[in-house]
Structure formats: structure tokens, C-alpha cells
Structure 1
Amino acid sequence: MRGAYGGPRVLLRRLREVMADPVAAQERLDRIVVLIAANMVAEVCSVYVLRVDGDLELYATEGLNREAVHRTTMHKGEGLVGLVADEAEPVNLSDAQAHPAFSYKPETGEEIFHSFLGVPILRAGNTLGVLVVQNKSHRTYSDEEIEALQTTAMVIAEMIASGELGGAETGLEPVGRRPAHAGGAALSEGIGLGHVVLHEPRVVVKTFIAEDTEAELKRLDTALAGLRASIDVLLDDGEVARAGEHRDVLEAFRMFANDRGWGRRLHEAVQTGITAEAAVERVQSDTRARMQRQTDPYLRERLHDLDDLANRLLRELTAPGQGMAPVAAELPENAIVVARSMGPAALLDYDRTRLRGLVLEEGSASSHVAIVARALGIAAVGQIENATGLVESGDAIIVDGVSGEVHVRPTQDVERAYVDKVRFRARKQEQYRALRERPSATIDGAEVKLLLNAGLLVDLPHLAETGAHGIGLFRTELQFMVASSMPKTAAQQQLYRAVLDAADGRPVTFRTLDVGGDKILPYMHREPEENPALGWRAIRLGLDRPALLRTQVRALLNAGGGRDLRIMFPMVACVSEIDGARDIVRRELARLVKHGHPAPSSVEVGVMIEVPSLLFQLDEVLERVDFVSVGSNDLMQFLFAVDRGNARVSGRFDPLSPAFLRTLARIADRAKAAGKPVTLCGEIGARPLEALALVGVGYRSLSMSPASIGPVKAALIEADAAELAAFMTPLIARADGKASLRAEIEAFAAKRGLQVAP
């Protein structure tokens, strides 16, 4: 049905004029509902805005009782308006009062209206409110009218999201700019206060109503063709063709970009009178609203692909030829990067002097981007659902890498509390720095070496800053993961030499490549595996592809010329693997001497104990190596058969359990009996309480992240190693079926006034 204003196309033109008027937001909203009602010959047009408290508030109306504005509210899911908000889908009824969801609000005077059309006000798939038209007569609104109302809802969504519409009081303001709080997984300790930088910046649509529909259709077709062509070019590129996971993503892009249904929906949206950019925004917002309500993880993963592709199409519309080009975001002074997922190389591309934090929709504490975040000393939190949809570029944000919490657009009270928290942490760090030169020893004289876990050149200054004894674990695979192609021998040698130079005589333990399984190099062919953590990785890959391992060992031996060198092999499961790895070292050392290159003054070879089978081969292992390191993260994962990357089970078992502590004690005892040094590497050694327990079961060397050195040292220098041993030995031997000994160890520390809070 067409109204006095001439139908939906005319409505959009009038709407553009209203938006251009320099009036207050409430007055503009009042004009919009009058305009819609007149155009659609509707007796009622109303706007309901979703508030912070979860209620929908009547913000403007034409046709209902004006006194009900800002007084009438309903819960999300209550009544027909609540149903539209809850389902994020239009509701079109010829007899609204007959619908079971109908809710009567006497103050509005709406009981005389029968027909009802409500559309959700959506932005980035998030519901911000509901736009409604009603008539006394029994009628069904046309598809053309639904489209017009949905387009108008997009404009209103921008008003709400911009914060133009204020609330009556704090806590009742519109949800669009509300403070938001989300909890996830702590990836890197620290607290970051700053402003949001989207890793893949969204294109902000500013023009919604088209001047020339045919011209917009041509622009859309040109952009789609350009996007499809650029994907094809990338897939035909030789390097990408071998890039495994990268290729899979591009194949998904190509599938969606050529999907006829997606193209048809975009064309239909433009034909309603909106711009090509607005069409992309609306189609994707509708898709996101539907798919966010799905529980199937595969469908939710496809939503990420569609989000990314839609944003690339928007970039193609605004900057032809740039749809698939990488985007370099400009960083504010205190930048918090927010992304769906990210590799370590991408994080290192950012200016570290401005970077304060990282928020990811994915990620675990053991992921490589988390390791890099810890190396950079920035707060990081992962597993924040819909993180990129919760924020806008420039939003104020707080990242708590201790508790795993994120606060978006925080209130003044929350911000003040975190400013105080940051100051307190700074004072604690000053106290820890004052301990830098103090020997790391207990009060009864037991030396406990505190070493660093590292993997990049950015880690090296922490040696001097923390006063660490050396580097207990240098993860050599990070150099390979941040490179676009396999690093040459010379590049590897240059890095290893720089590490040894920075260590300045302090010991450095280089772990050979731990890649494969779930840690695939971008340029490495990926073989599908059902259990990648238990698959073809680390030493298994190195022994099956000996050229790769020989090249790395050669680089290490060359870099270590004239110095002490320590090489450690990961994921060893049997002594024959040790024999094979040692044989490669012997042959490469002989080759080095034969060609007249300076050899290391000493070469020590060790293994990581992280596969439980080695627990039953300890004597044979210790006969063959010069030292051992315990990879506590993987050892615990394999011992309890728990995927440490799975949030549902990763916290199920406590490292301070009798079973795990007995396992660690057995390793320490056997190493001591064999006269071989043992170091524990992993998160368990990086926490003061756990470090005390480790000293109690026999460990005198712990390797950890730089930020953990100070808190751990502060606890150890006040402790008595003999007293810890006397307490821990009978405690872990007890057979009372307890799942954790944490409470007992905490009570012991509290009784002696030991600092166990970081």
C-alpha cells in the first residue's frame, strides 16, 4: 500500500532530508516516526530502544499515547516487540491480539490496533531495538514495506550506536553504547588501559540512501567481480597454493563470494533504494543475527568467514582493488588490538611502543600469539565471544590479563579502580626490580636458578631487567612461525648468535623445532590429523625429515663457535629417538671441524620430559643426556589426557594434585641420583605458590616468563628449602584421594608469611 508520501522510495528520500536537519536526536526520532506513519498509511509508528538493563523502552511514537514515551517498558522476549528483539526477525501479523505473545500495555492505548509489523534494529548482528508500525484494519504488510522499514531501522541503529540518544538515568541508557563486560581466558599477565584498534578494521557505512539505484547496482557488480578476481589471483599464486591453512581460508572466501544466494540478497537490498555499502551491511547484519543463535560450531566458524568477506567487499566498494589487500591500522598512544584470531607475525607488525593489550575471540595460554604477547609484556585475553562485534574502533577498553576480563566503554568507577590497580602493580614491580641483584636462594642457602622462557629477540632485554640466571628454554620455532618462508641457515645462525651475545656468558638452552601437529608453519604442507597434539610433530618430524633438523643443528653449532652450547630435543617418547638426534649432532659437529669452522667449547645435549612414556625409561634417558627439562604444560596434558586448549576441561585438574607432584618428584629424584641437572619449564613454575611446592619436591632450576621472575623470587628468598621438603614429602605421599593439595600448601605459606600473590 502506498501512502500520501508516495511509497518506500519516497520515504527514503524524505528520511535523508530529516537526517540532514541540524536538530536534537530525540526530535529527529520523533520526525522519523511521523514520516514512516504517513508514508505507510499506518496509524501507529513506534521505536523501542533496548536498554542496558535488558528492557525495551518506548522512545518515540506517532499514534500511541505520547505520554507513554520513556514510561512504557517491556522485557526482551515479552510481547510482540520483545519477540522481535529476541528472535532478531521481522514479525508481520494481520491480527496481533490473537498471537500468543501479544502483551497489553494500557498506558499506550494500542488495544484498538490489529495489524502489526515489527522489525529489529540491528547493527553488526546485535539487536539495539525494535521499529513497529500498526493499523486498526486487519492487513498484512507487503515485502516492499518490510524492506523500507528495515532500511529505516539501519539509520536508527546508527543513531543509537553513536550515543546520540541519551537515557533517563545511569543504567537505563541505550544498549548501543553501554559499558560491556566479558570474561575469557587470561593469556598474558598485566593490565592494559587504552582504546580499541580492530585488527581487521571494519568499514563504517555513512551513506545509506541511494541517489541512483542503477548506479549502485553497477558499483556492487564491479566490486563483487573485483573481489572474486583478487581471490583467484591469490589462489593461483605459487606460495599461497602451498600454504595449507591460508589456502583453506581463501577457498572458503571464493565459495562464499561466488554463492548465488549471497549475491541475490545483496542485489535485492540495493533495489530497495539503499547504497551498495548499506546493502552489504544489512545483509551481513541479518546473517550475523541469525547465525549467532546457532550452537553448531561449524556454522559459527562460517559466520567469521562471512564477516571477513563482507568487510572485504566493503573495502572493495570504497577503495577498488584493495578488498584483499592487508590493512595497516594506525595505532593511538595506548592501543588495545581486538581480533578474531591472530598469528604471532601479525602481532609483531604492530608498533610495540604503543601497544598495551590484545583481545581475541579465540586463543589459549599455550598458543604462539600468547607466547609473543608475554614476550612483549602486554596484557592479553582470549576466548571473548563476539569480541569484534562488541567494540567499535576508538572505544575505551580495559584488558585484565590476570583475571581474564575485558571491560568495554567502562564506567568511571571501573576505570578508577583499574587505574589504582595499575599503580599498585607498578609499585610491586618496583619492589621486584629491587631484588634483581639479590641472589636467588632460600634462607637456608639453597640456590634456586630462575631462568627465562624466550623465543624472540624482543625477549632478550629481559635478561638484564630481571637478573635471570639465563635462558632455560629458547623456543626456536617462533622464528619459523613469524617468517613467510623457511628461514635459511644463515638467518637461523644470525638469530642464535644474537641470543648468545645477549646472554653474555649466561647459559642458554635452545629447544629444536617443535612444529607440526597443531603448530603448522604457514609454508608447510598440512596433513590432517585427528589428534594433532599427539601426532607428527617436534622430534618425530625432525627425524623423519632429517635435512630440516640437520640444518638447524648446523646453524646452532656455527653460532656457538667458541662458546658453551646447550641443545634440547622436544616430544621425545623413547630412547631410540634420543640416539637418532644425538647422532645428527655428532655428524654435524664432525662436519664443522672437518671444514675448519670454530666449534663450540662444549656441546651439551638434553631432552624435554613431556611424554609420560619417558617416566618409565628415566634411567636409560639419563644415561644418554647431559641434562633434562620438564615440559610441565604438555606433561600434565598427556598425564591427565586433557586438552590444554579446551576451555571446558583445561582447568579440570590442578597441577598441585598428588598425582602430578609425585610425577615431578620422581623425575627430580632420578635426575639427582644420576647427577644430571633438571629444570622445570612451564606455567606451574611461574606462580609463587607452585614454585614453593616445586622447591619442596626437589627442583632447584625453574624457567618462566619474564614477568614471573620477580614474584617467584620474592617468595623463594623468604622460604626455607629444608622446611618445604619436610612439609611436601609426606604431603604428596598421603593416600587420602584428594584431587588437589592447594589448600594445604596455601595454609603452609600463609602461616609463614610467604608472598604467594603475584
Structure 2
Amino acid sequence: MREIAGSPRVLLRRLRELMAEAAEPQARLDRIVREIASNMVAEVCSLYVLRADSVLELYATEGLNPSSVHLAQLKLGQGLVGTIAASARALNLQDAQNHPAFTYLPETGEEIYHSFLGVPVLRAGRTLGVLVVQNKTKRHYGDDEVEALETTAMVIAEMVATGDLKRLTRPGLELDLSRPVTIEGVAFNEGVGLGHVVLHEPRIVVTNLFNEDVDTELRRLDNALGSLRVSIDDMLSRRDVASEGEHRAVLEAYRMFAHDRGWVRRLEEAVRNGLTAEAAVEKVQSDMRARMMHMTDPYLRDRMNDFDDLGNRLLRQLMGHGSDAMAAALPRDAIVVSRSMGAADLLDYPREKLRGLVLEDAAATSHVVIVARAIGIPVAGQAKGAVSMAENGDPIIVDGDEGRVHLRPQPDVEAAFAEKARFRARRQELYRELRSRPSVSRDGVEVELMMNAGLAVDLPQLGEAGAAGIGLFRTELQFMVASTFPRAQAQEALYRQVLEAAGDKPVTFRTIDIGGDKVLPYFRGSEKEENPALGWRAIRLTLDRPALLRTQFRALLKAAGGRELRVMLPMVTEVSEIRRAREIIDREVRHLARFGHHLPTSLSIGAMVEVPSLLFQLDELMREVDFVSIGSNDLFQFMTATDRGNGTVASRFDPLSAPFLRALKSVLDAGCRAGTPVTLCGELASRPISAMALIGLGFRSISMSAAAIGPVKAMLVDLPVEALTAQMGLILGDGGGAHDARGLLRTFAADHDIPL
């Protein structure tokens, strides 16, 4: 079929020819706007480019006053052009001058033009500029003309992104694509990381934009969509995918969207207008990202994110790219930027090259954040927009102390954070010097500083941090990073490795704590729960599925042959649950003894105090167990009825408030009456000020992340415990609720030169 002179295909072919020719950037831009105007029978075609100072500068025009190029400017949100850039939406007007946003620029000579069509120049959802056509007559541009201009704008976006226009910028007026950006997020793990961006699912750069044969590209698109649908159906039909749960809902949504005719129709239309199949996906995906960025409804944003992820999968199908993030060589100072990721995904990256992690969607208790803490890298979460604003290789700083991300930082900012990193390194050197010193206060009180762990990668930190032992080994992490249930032999091998690495230091294993927010995709659970944190999880789940507990107990008993074994039970609500668990482990002891296995020299069973109901069974509890460990994270969450994964309420109440401290003291007192050791593990032990409060209450064994041991020990060796105990009495007294406990502790630390 003969091509019509003014069709989008002809225009794209001419643009391809122009971009292939050797020409200066300004000359090429001038010819491009001339070609667009001619093809669309427009009297004006203008390109505005967004600068780093949020000003849209006229970079090229056909029809307006040529002397206004690089002089005519509009602020973001000002005039019709500024409105398009701010909203990332097209404007199609019969009489532009009657629009309330119209702003007259006398230097351009545009007062004689009435009809106006402007579209945003988009790349990965970011607005890089605005492309405009105008005519003197009052007319409404057709849908095919809007589509043609949007497609052309996508080609121009690649010119902007690849740096062709940087030579046209004046000193001090950088393009928006390279401007420094600071993103306010949430601090998930402390520390400072300086490095270069590694996108977890790197944006696939589409270089082949223009198609040679529409039918061929439509077939490629159809085949890729077919493969995509088959892969999603295959994931849903696999036996190891649970029939319920959030992951299932995501896959069901993917399947629904992969068959969405509206989405497919937009892809096919872009191909018919002259784009390759992959360029069509990129265009439609970019349009949807731009719309997503302006949505406030969380549900709708999630649905748009589903389309975005689906588009990435389709691009990889079309271009034959694997999803393995390790395919490309990593820089030595990699900072991974991702919307979200699994715990196993993070462990795929070489630890020696990782300097930090930035997440758009995650909570402080997400599995990947737990793993990031374990390997000791700074994490900033809830960093909205980080993925779309970052490019692979961009300089980046992660401030895990404040939760901020500095993308393409200015030199003075980079220098300040480099000094902060050097200061932290010097402080870490001080902590290493403290490693061999006893954990004894200024006035001679000894406090055990134990380490939390959960993976084999944690074990070297036991000696490096100078921990007295492992106070909490989270056995469920082995389950979370695996694709199927770890077999008994694999569990036994890990537990033996942990015990051998600890040597003569004690290790406390917590039985598997899955359920709630710790969903195993291969575990077929119960129906979807409205409140999973309060539902079928931890000891409740394993008592209902005793084979899980039996297998784990047997692996622990065999791994600990010839030495002490300490096991504690999570999420205990009633003392009867401890008795039932004891019956299972006693049965395994008898079974192994019958077959001549080497058994532990001693077996201690403990319980975690996380559920407030145990506070009213303390004396009975202390008689039933060999030791108690307070899980401060969940206990505080349940006592204050605040979801610690909900950023709106997570910091609403202070764990150093008198009511919560009194609850902790009641557990200590009950342990003292019964002669049962009481320890505490959780975030409360990981910060010097709250660890100081715990020691003042009477705790003599606390467990924390490996990175926290140095700062806590530095506080402890300068701490006068007797004086602090008196101060804690004031906080816990009848009028304690009237005192600012945190403020009083800071004042005490300042008065006694205690580093916090």
C-alpha cells in the first residue's frame, strides 16, 4: 500500500534519516521541527526543553521568531507549555489564547496563531520537555495527529537523554535529566553509602525505534505477548505457588493485564504508526508511568505499577534479555535502586561491591531490609520516584541515618558525605579497638552484648563485632531465601555451621517464624488473612503443622551433638503452647537416642515474650521455661496497637515511654523471682540510648544487630550503671508518665560524657 505523504510512518522515516546524518545538534533540531511542521501541515512547530532550574527553554522552532530560540522561557506550570510539562498530559485547543493558562511571549510572535497541540516529551515517565504545533486557523487536531506528535516526542526524548543537546546548554543551565535530586525517604538501616546507581531491573534501552515492516513487528509483538501470557499461566499453575496470598493476587493481576485489550490495542497502534514492537512498548509504558506519577489513590498507583512491571517483562521477551541483574558487570561501589525486591535477589549481588540499597516500596520489616541489615549496608526506603529518575551509572549517595537519597549530588554535597563516611570509618576503627575489651560498665557491671543473625553470611561478624554469642538466630531466613522448603539435611548443615562458627560462645536458635508478613510463596497456607500479624504465624502455625517443627527439632538436635543447644519459641500466647512444643522435642530426643545419635550435652527451651497476654502469666511462664527473651519489636507493636510497617503510625508512640518500660521491668522482676534468665532482642537493643535504658532497668544480656554492638559497647564502658538505675526509678515512678524519658536519658548521657 502506498504511504500517504503526511502519515506518521513517513515522518518517522524522515526523522530516522535526519538523525543518521552528520550534523550539529542545533542544525539537526531545526531540520526536525521543520520536518514535523511540514508533515503535519502546521505553520509552527516548537521544541521546549526542561532545564534543571525548572524552566522550559525554547530550543528550536519553525514558524515563530527565530531570534527567540534559547531566549524564550516559561517556568514549570506557567503558560500552556508549562502546564503540559507539569501535568505530563497533552493539550489540544482550537483557540489557545482563550485558555486560562495562556501566557503571551511577545518575543516569539505567536499571537497570530490560534489552534494549538502540545505533548510532553517523556522518557521513563519523566518530562524532559514539550513539543508543540500551531496553526492560524481555529481547528481541533485529530487523534491520529496527537498520536503522531506523541510518537515523535518519544524520539526526541532519546536525543535529550543521550546527551546530544548538552552542547547547546549555556554555562550553569543544565538540562533537567542531569540535575541533582534529593529524595526524602525513610531510614531503614543506618550508614552512609557513596557510589553509582545499579538499577535492579535495568531499564532496557530501546535503540531500534523505527520499523521496516508493520506486519513483521505486529507478529513479533503478538508472539512476545503469547510467550508472556504462557509464562504467567505457568507460574500460576505451578504446584509450589500457594493458592492464596498477595503474591498470587499479583500474578492474577498480571494475567488479567496481559490479556487487556485496551493495552494491547495501544501497543498495536504505536506499531502501525511506525515504531518497532519494543519501541511501542516503551512509548505506551512511558505514557502510563507519567499518568501514574500524578495519581494519589494508592490502589490505582499499584495497578499502574502492575502495568509497568508487565511492560518490562514484555520488553525483555522482545529483546531477548534475561532478568538476571548480574548479567552486566557491577561497579565496585554499587548502590542498588529498586521499586521492590526479594531477599534472595539482594544476596545475588556480590557483597564486596555493595555500598547501599534504595527501595521505593518496602517496610522496615521487609525481608530484603532484614537481609540488608544482616550484611551491614545502609538502606533508604519509601524513596518514591527513585527508579524513574535514576539511570545506571549515575552518582548517588544513600544516607541511611536520615533516609535521604542524593541522586547526581553536587560536589559540595558529595564532599560533605565523603567526610561523614570517613568519620564513620574512624568511628568503626574505634569500635574495632573496643572489640577485645570486656563488656563492663564504668562502675564494674558486666552486660552480655549478643548478636542477632539468620544467614551464613552473618557468621564472620560474630568475631568482627566482638559479640558474646548469638542471642537470636532467625531460622526462618533460610526458608525465605529458598525456592522450596529446605530439606532436613540442609537445615542440619546450616545449624552445624552456625555452632562451629560460634565455637564456645552460646547460640540461641528461634524456631521457624513464618506467616504474617513472612510469606513463603511455596507454602500452601490458609485463606488470606485480613490481619496477618495477628493471625496464623510462628508457634501457632508450627503446632498446627507439627511435621515442620519435628523436622526442625531433629535437625537442631543432630547438629548440636556434644554441645549445648538453646531453642526458643516465637509468638507464644499461652503457656500450654510451650508444653505442646516440649512434647514434640522430647519425642525427637527419644527417637534419636533410640538410634544411637550423638545428642546435645544440655537442652534449654525458652520462650519469646511478644504477645501482651504473657505479661499476665509471668510467674507460670518462668516456671515452664529455662530462659525468656523479650521480642521488643512485636511486643511494642501489639501493646500500642500500631503496625510497625505503617509509616503513618509506626513512629507515633515512643518505646522509651514509661508504660512500655514498666512492662519490660515486670518481665525482669518475674524472672528474678523464679531465677529464670531474661534477655531482650530487637531494635530497642540496637541503639545506644535505648540500650542504656534497658541496662538501667536491669537487663544484663541484650541482643542486637552486629553493626550495633560497637556503638552500644562504646556507651557501656563509660556508663555509671548505679547512677542510671536511680534515674530510671524517676522515669518509672508514679509520675513517670509526665516525664520525657528520652529527654531525661539524653541529659543524663550529656552530664556523664556518655557517647550516644
Bucket of the pairwise TM-score, normalised by the shorter protein: over 0.9
Normalization by structure 2: what TM-score? 0.96
Q: Which moved more, 1:280-289 or 1:326-335?
A: 326-335
Q: Which moved more, 1:167-176 or 1:655-664?
A: 167-176
What SS does structure 2 have at the residue aligned with 1:353?
Answer: helix
Check conservation: 1:115, 1:137, Cα contact below 8 A. yes
**CA 326–260 in structure 1, closer or farther in 2 if over 3 Å, else same:** farther
Residues 3-18 of structure 1: pairs in structure 2 closer than 5 A: 6-18=6-18
Shift of 1:271: 1.0
Check conservation: 1:244, 1:525, Cα contact below 8 A. no
Cα distance in 2 for residues equivalent to 1:566 and 1:710:
25
Check conservation: 1:161, 1:177, Cα contact below 8 A. no
Residues 14-53 of structure 1: pairs in structure 2 closer than 5 A: 14-53=14-53
2:410 matched to 1:411? Answer: yes
Residues 71-470 of structure 1: pairs in structure 2 closer than 5 A: 71-166=71-166, 168=169, 172-240=173-241, 245-319=246-320, 328-470=327-469
Cα distance in 1 for residues equivalent to 2:406 and 2:284:
29
Cα distance in 1 for residues equivalent to 2:566 and 2:292:
51
Cα distance in 2 for residues equivalent to 1:618 and 1:678:
12
Cα distance in 2 for residues equivalent to 1:152 and 1:478:
49
Cα distance in 2 for residues equivalent to 1:298 and 1:590:
53
Shift of 1:706: 0.8
What stretches of structure 2 of length at least 5 have no aligned partner?
none
Cα distance in 1 for residues equivalent to 2:444 and 2:171:
58
Partner of 1:640: 640
Partner of 1:481: 480
Opposite residue 179 of structure 1, the aligned amino acid is P
**CA 187–154 in structure 1, closer or farther in 2 if over 3 Å, else same:** same
**CA 376–243 in structure 1, closer or farther in 2 if over 3 Å, else same:** farther
Shift of 1:738: 4.0
Cα distance in 2 for residues equivalent to 1:492 and 1:52:
54
Cα distance in 2 for residues equivalent to 1:544 and 1:170:
69
Partner of 1:663: 663
Shift of 1:78: 2.0
Check conservation: 1:619, 1:670, Cα contact below 8 A. yes
**CA 324–4 in structure 1, closer or farther in 2 if over 3 Å, else same:** closer
Q: Could you report, residue by residue, the CA deviation over 1:576-624 in whole angstroms, capped at 9, with x for unpaired residues?
A: 1121122222222222222221211111111111111111111111111
What SS does structure 1 have at the residue aligned with 2:351?
Answer: coil
Shift of 1:40: 2.2
What SS does structure 2 have at the residue aligned with 1:487?
Answer: coil
Opposite residue 31 of structure 1, the aligned amino acid is R
Check conservation: 1:194, 1:334, Cα contact below 8 A. yes
Shift of 1:214: 2.5
What SS does structure 1 have at the residue aligned with 2:210?
Answer: coil
Shift of 1:669: 2.1
**CA 323–438 in structure 1, closer or farther in 2 if over 3 Å, else same:** closer
Cα distance in 1 for residues equivalent to 2:341 and 2:678:
34
Cα distance in 1 for residues equivalent to 2:568 and 2:327:
38
Cα distance in 2 for residues equivalent to 1:509 and 1:285:
50
Shift of 1:641: 0.4
Cα distance in 2 for residues equivalent to 1:38 and 1:460:
69
Shift of 1:363: 1.6
Shift of 1:396: 1.8
Check conservation: 1:200, 1:327, Cα contact below 8 A. no
Opposite residue 211 of structure 1, the aligned amino acid is E
Q: Which moved more, 1:290-299 or 1:110-119?
A: 290-299
Cα distance in 2 for residues equivalent to 1:238 and 1:529:
21
Cα distance in 2 for residues equivalent to 1:186 and 1:439:
31
Cα distance in 2 for residues equivalent to 1:72 and 1:738:
61
What SS does structure 2 have at the residue aligned with 1:445?
Answer: coil
**CA 328–253 in structure 1, closer or farther in 2 if over 3 Å, else same:** farther
Shift of 1:671: 1.5
Shift of 1:14: 1.6
Partner of 1:566: 566
Cα distance in 2 for residues equivalent to 1:328 and 1:185:
30
Check conservation: 2:169, 2:175, Cα contact below 8 A. no
Q: Which moved more, 1:378-387 or 1:420-429?
A: 378-387
Q: Could you report, residue by residue, the CA deviation over 1:227-284 in whole angstroms, capped at 9, with x for unpaired residues?
A: 2233333333333466855443332222111111111111111111121111111111
What SS does structure 2 have at the residue aligned with 1:234?
Answer: helix
Cα distance in 1 for residues equivalent to 2:218 and 2:543:
58
**CA 496–325 in structure 1, closer or farther in 2 if over 3 Å, else same:** closer
Cα distance in 1 for residues equivalent to 2:381 and 2:430:
29
Q: Please tell me the root mean square deviation across aligned C-alpha atoms, in Å.
A: 2.1
Cα distance in 1 for residues equivalent to 2:322 and 2:132:
36
What SS does structure 2 have at the residue aligned with 1:747?
Answer: helix
Opposite residue 67 of structure 2, the aligned amino acid is E
Cα distance in 2 for residues equivalent to 1:48 and 1:364:
39
Shift of 1:651: 0.9
Partner of 2:684: 684
Q: Could you report, residue by residue, the CA deviation over 1:132-180 in whole angstroms, capped at 9, with x for unpaired residues?
A: 1111121222222222211111112112223333375676422122222
2:548 matched to 1:548? Answer: yes
Identity fraction in percent: 62
What SS does structure 2 have at the residue aligned with 1:238?
Answer: coil
Q: Which moved more, 1:137-146 or 1:3-12?
A: 3-12
Shift of 1:711: 0.6
Opposite residue 393 of structure 2, the aligned amino acid is G
Cα distance in 1 for residues equivalent to 2:419 and 2:703:
30
Check conservation: 2:455, 2:477, Cα contact below 8 A. yes
Opposite residue 378 of structure 2, the aligned amino acid is A
Normalization by structure 1: what TM-score? 0.96
**CA 736–485 in structure 1, closer or farther in 2 if over 3 Å, else same:** closer
Cα distance in 2 for residues equivalent to 1:242 and 1:500:
37
Q: Could you report, residue by residue, the CA deviation over 1:196-217 in whole angstroms, capped at 9, with x for unpaired residues?
A: 2222222111122222223222
Opposite residue 83 of structure 2, the aligned amino acid is L
Cα distance in 1 for residues equivalent to 2:129 and 2:738:
51
Cα distance in 2 for residues equivalent to 1:125 and 1:4:
31
What stretches of structure 1 of length at least 5 have no aligned partner?
none
Q: Which moved more, 1:481-490 or 1:531-540?
A: 481-490
Cα distance in 2 for residues equivalent to 1:700 and 1:731:
19
Shift of 1:109: 1.7
Opposite residue 38 of structure 1, the aligned amino acid is S
Cα distance in 2 for residues equivalent to 1:410 and 1:162:
20
Partner of 2:630: 630
Shift of 1:295: 2.0
2:509 matched to 1:510? Answer: yes
Partner of 2:539: 539
Cα distance in 1 for residues equivalent to 2:678 and 2:239:
45
Cα distance in 1 for residues equivalent to 2:746 and 2:162:
49
2:584 matched to 1:584? Answer: yes
